[in-house]
Amino acid sequence: MSLLQIDHVSRHFGKLIAVNDVSLNVEPGELRAIIGPNGAGKTTFFNMISGFFPPTSGTISFDGENITKLTPEQRVARGMARTFQITEIFPELNVAGNLRIAVESAAGFRMKPWLNGAEKKLVADRIDELLTLGNLTTSAHDEVGALSHGDQRAVEIMMAMALRPKILLLDEPAAGMGDQETYDVSRLIRRVHREQKLTIMLVEHDMRVVFNLADRIMVLAEGALLAEGTPDEIAQSDVVQQAYLGKEADLGKEAA
Amino acid sequence: MNGLKQHYAKIIVWAILLTIPYWFTYIGGYLGLANEIVIYALAAMALNFLLGFTGVLSFGHAAFFGLGAYGTALTIKFLVPSTLVGLAVGVLTATVAGMVIGALIIKRRGVYFAMATIAFGQLFFFIANRWNSVTGGDDGVGNWHRMPINLGFTTIPLFHNSLVYYYFTLLLFALAVGAMGLLLDGPFGRSLMAIRENERRARFLGINIELHVWISFVISTAICGLAGGMLALLDNFVNPRDLRFDLSGVLVVMAVMGGMRSFWGPLLGAAIFQWLREVLSSHTPNWQTYIGIVFVLVVLFFRRGILGFKLSTVKS
């Protein structure tokens, strides 16, 4: 059974059709990328999946349950976590403080006035695990606002991982990053994907990241599904090259 | 809370509050002023629970302060001549009002939330000001006074001994402030700070924003109501100005001036405000102008308030 099943989803903003009748299945353990030129509807599509707003029509099922109308919190509770194109963290707290809030929320402690010894230990151990997983141990006590862009992204991804998601949604994880940072973030995503056998779906502009990481790629153009396949198939697809990759076609082949 | 610094701050604050009745007169103060400072500080700290630690601005907290005051006064005058029952009714009134109003406006954010709080605040002011038969209208509620507390084996002389009343308010202050401090140091408090820091991220960590803000609002209004009841008992009198919107503004000024990101900031803000009011108002009817100037200077030069030196609020 597919983990995430999207059936004939559309989203209209007034007269603008941002996403038009897109269907998609994501299998457990898969790393799926969505690409497409600016304005293709990638972000809208992503926001519907994570619960920012509901689709105008169509259904979204997750883990066998129809989640089309659920709030973001309810989706988080069912095992969905996401990051944002512009990193969303708690800038005035340190790295461990950021993770602490995520860990406590994930453990169901967010309404508790205080924690007992065992609960405190549970939280502390989980924070350490995440610091290790994200290569953040040395900067645990640094304020995140002062970290590099790449490390901030690592913190955000680890906050999402704190939720022990069944699927991780990454909205342009390498946006605005230099070569080294892009490389580091790609490696982190690959590591999380392999070590935790985690299903990941990402939207990305950087073709190197996409063709390096993805098991399957879906191409959106003008709100509609243009093509879907393995990186090789996408790189060699005439439709995709004509409609989207254009001059970038060479780059796609190179990376593949 | 930042460990050591917070620890010292706590010791200093409590040393001052516990001993102030014995030395305040030497620097030109008096017991009643100290008592007012404690009471307004509690109201400002309660407001700041919402403003500084949840990131939600209310411009209507005078309503809950006033409901606490009227609830206490009317109960003692007409229903049960007991200080504790009066206070309990006062706090309950403010809390229930907080729950209902909170539920009605919780979906609004930022300026819209603040405007809605002003509107509800004014509603209660007009009720108090116009409903002459119960609230005494513009004349307020007089001809009653706080009652001694009978413990069976002894009686606490709250009414005839102002010093005893001061320590009574300080005890309530300690309980309320202690509860807020405890909450802010735990997971619930961190969830609130998460909402303040980044609402979107908090939501996508599974935190129910509306529920958390609502609870924070209710806690804040309950403690504000307690402070209002305490002021009514201090004065043995209530008038509609205790729930007028300018008091809401004063509470915000106290919190912002003292430092809304620091736990004790509003206490300092309240002390400075009440002190300036006392000193200036004996010289000029325009005392508010001067407080305004001080406020502007503080906001310009200490952007995080007087106690606003940078504190990392969540330790690892």
Q: How many C-beta neighbours within 10 Å does residue B167 have?
A: 16
The answer to whether residue B309 scores a pLDDT higher than 60 is no
Query: Looking at residue B99, which CATH number applies to its domain?
Result: 1.10.3470
The answer to whether residue B244 scores a pLDDT higher than 90 is no
- Residue B312 domain-assigned? no
Q: What pLDDT, on a 0 to 100 scale, did the predictor assign at position A246?
A: 57
Q: Which residue has the tokens 């409590």?
A: B14
pLDDT tens digits, A17-57: 999 999 999 999 999 999 988 888 888 999 999 998 999 99
DSSP state of A94: B
Using a CB–CB cut-off of 8 Å, the residues of B that contact A are 182-183, 185-188, 190-191, 193-194, 197-198, 200-208, 212, 312-316
Task: Give the range of the structural domain holding residue B231, as residue numbers without chain letter.
Answer: 3-301
pLDDT tier for residue B67 given thresholds of 50, 70 and 90: very high
CATH architecture for the domain at A4-255? 3-Layer(aba) Sandwich (3.40)
Tell which residue, B62, B59, B60, B85, has the closest CA to residue B74: B85
As a whole-number percent, the residues of chain A with pLDDT over 70 amount to 95
Q: What residue of B is the nearest CA neighbor of A77?
A: B206
pLDDT tens digits, B161-188: 999 999 999 999 999 999 999 999 999 9
Q: How many C-beta neighbours within 10 Å does residue B301 have?
A: 8
Choose among A81, A88, A115: nearest Cβ to B186: A115
- Residue B316 domain-assigned? no
A73 and B314 within 8 Å at the Cβ level: the answer is no
Mutate to test the interface with B, among A74, A75, A104 (most CBs of B within 10 A): A104
Residues of chain A neighbouring B190 (CB-CB closer than 8 A) = 100-101, 104
The answer to whether residue A110 scores a pLDDT higher than 60 is yes
Tell which residue, A189, A94, A69, A75, has the closest CA to residue A145: A94
Choose among B186, B194, B313: nearest Cβ to A114: B186
Instruction: Report the alpha-carbon distance of residue B274 to residue B166 in Å, rounded.
Output: 16
The answer to whether residue B312 scores a pLDDT higher than 90 is no
A217 within 8 A of A228, measured Cβ to Cβ: yes
Displacement of CA A55 from its chain's centroid (Å): 19
The answer to whether residue B316 scores a pLDDT higher than 60 is no
DSSP state of A226: E
Residues of chain A neighbouring B202 (CB-CB closer than 8 A) = 101
Residues of chain A neighbouring B204 (CB-CB closer than 8 A) = 50, 72, 76, 81-82, 88
Q: Can you tell me the ipTM of this complex?
A: 0.87
Choose among A50, A96, A105: nearest Cβ to B205: A105
Instruction: Report the alpha-carbon distance of residue A189 to residue B15 in Å, rounded.
Output: 53
Instruction: Report the alpha-carbon distance of residue A21 to residue A40 in Å, rounded.
Output: 13
Q: For chain A, give the mean pLDDT.
A: 90
Residue type, A50: S
Tokens of A72: 């973001």
Q: What pLDDT, on a 0 to 100 scale, did the predictor assign at position A244?
A: 64
Residues of chain A neighbouring B316 (CB-CB closer than 8 A) = 94-97, 100, 127, 140-141
First-to-final CA distance of chain A: 29
B312 and A50 within 8 Å at the Cβ level: the answer is no
Residues of chain B neighbouring A167 (CB-CB closer than 8 A) = none
User: Across B110-183, where does the E strand assignment appear?
Assistant: 149-150, 155-156
Q: Check CB contact of A145 with chain B, cutoff 8 Å.
A: no
Q: What pLDDT, on a 0 to 100 scale, did the predictor assign at position A1?
A: 76
Average pLDDT over residues B254-265: 92
DSSP state of A245: I
Going across the sheet that includes A31-35, the strands are A80-83, A167-171, A199-203, A31-35, A216-221, A224-229
B316 and A127 within 8 Å at the Cβ level: the answer is yes
Instruction: Report the alpha-carbon distance of residue A45 to residue B155 in Å, rounded.
Output: 70
Each domain of chain A, given as residue ranges in start order, spans 4-255
Q: For chain B, give the mean pLDDT.
A: 91
Choose among A94, A110, A159: nearest Cβ to B188: A110
Task: Tell me the shortest Cα–Cα distance from A245 to chain B, in angstroms.
Answer: 33
Q: What pLDDT, on a 0 to 100 scale, did the predictor assign at position B71?
A: 96
Three-state DSSP at A41 gives coil
B315 and A97 within 8 Å at the Cβ level: the answer is yes
Q: What pLDDT, on a 0 to 100 scale, did the predictor assign at position B313?
A: 41
pLDDT tier for residue B217 given thresholds of 50, 70 and 90: very high
pLDDT tens digits, B10-30: 999 999 999 999 999 999 899
Q: Check CB contact of A37 with chain B, cutoff 8 Å.
A: no
Q: Check CB contact of A50 with chain B, cutoff 8 Å.
A: yes
Strand-pairing partners, residue B156, are B149
Task: Tell me the shortest Cα–Cα distance from A98 to chain B, in angstroms.
Answer: 9
Q: What pLDDT, on a 0 to 100 scale, did the predictor assign at position A205?
A: 84
Residues of chain A neighbouring B205 (CB-CB closer than 8 A) = 76, 101-102, 105-106, 159, 162-163
Choose among B182, B194, B314: nearest Cβ to A114: B182
Between A85-99, A136-150, A235-249, B241-255, the lowest mean confidence (pLDDT) is in A235-249
Residues of chain B neighbouring A163 (CB-CB closer than 8 A) = 205-206
- Residue B153 domain-assigned? yes
B193 and A90 within 8 Å at the Cβ level: the answer is yes
Average pLDDT over residues B97-125: 93
Q: Check CB contact of A161 with chain B, cutoff 8 Å.
A: no
Question: Which residues 74-113 of A have a C-beta within 8 angstroms of B?
Answer: 76-77, 81-82, 84, 88-97, 100-102, 104-106, 109-113
Domain count along chain B: 1
The answer to whether residue A247 scores a pLDDT higher than 70 is no
Choose among A90, A94, A162: nearest Cβ to B316: A94
Q: Check CB contact of A128 with chain B, cutoff 8 Å.
A: no
Task: Tell me the shortest Cα–Cα distance from A223 to chain B, in angstroms.
Answer: 25
Q: Check CB contact of A72 with chain B, cutoff 8 Å.
A: yes
DSSP state of A11: E
Instruction: Report the alpha-carbon distance of residue B79 to residue B72 in Å, rounded.
Output: 10
pLDDT tens digits, A58-108: 999 999 999 999 999 999 999 999 999 889 999 889 999 999 999 999 999
B316 and A111 within 8 Å at the Cβ level: the answer is no
